Amino acid sequence: AIVALSRRRSAQARERQNEHLSEHIGDEIAAALTLTGQTANGLHGDALDLARLPEVHASLADGRIDWPKAGVFARELRAVPAAAARDIAAAVLPDAPDMTTAQIRGALRRLVLAFDPDAAQQRKAAAARDTEVVVWTETSGNAALAGRELPEADALAVDRRLTALARWLSDRGAEG
């Protein structure tokens, strides 16, 4: 349904020569399914990626794999050309029902790197454009803070600095 909606909105945008008609598909999905915008956008991307992988979609539809496993295929093969993505998926899919999502991810990444040794650098560069700091409320009522898609060295340095500050505070009687 999400792929059909996306194709419909894209066709409407082309027909009316108004690219804005396809800009808010995620918002439509969010409203229809009562999701956050971020979750809806992720679902939209995964659905479009699964449309490129008909064998994975069929395996999901038949119950051989579940949604989290299908999502791993979708995200790990997103940057790979469609024909190669289908071939890579076909190599992992027979064993996928008995694999964890981490095992599927690892197998796919190894095959993607074998297909395109520069893929890891390209993925890292593309992801760096989505660098962000995210804050959310935990179920306990406390807050959490995360830096996403940061350069690894910077993330490690920030972790060490925050840990040192926390120890300093703790040594001076701060709770937590």
Residue 59, Cβ neighbours under 10 Å: how many? 21
Residues 39-55 as b or e (16 or more Cβ within 10 Å = b):
ebbbbbbbbbbbbbbee
Spell out the residues 6+ positions from residue 146 whose beta carbon is closer than 8 angstroms to its own: 133, 134
Q: Which pLDDT belongs to residue 130? A: 82
At residue 51, what is the residue type? A
Rounded to two decimals, the pTM is 0.71
Does residue 160 surpass a pLDDT of 80?
Answer: yes
Q: What percent of the chain has pLDDT over 70?
A: 100
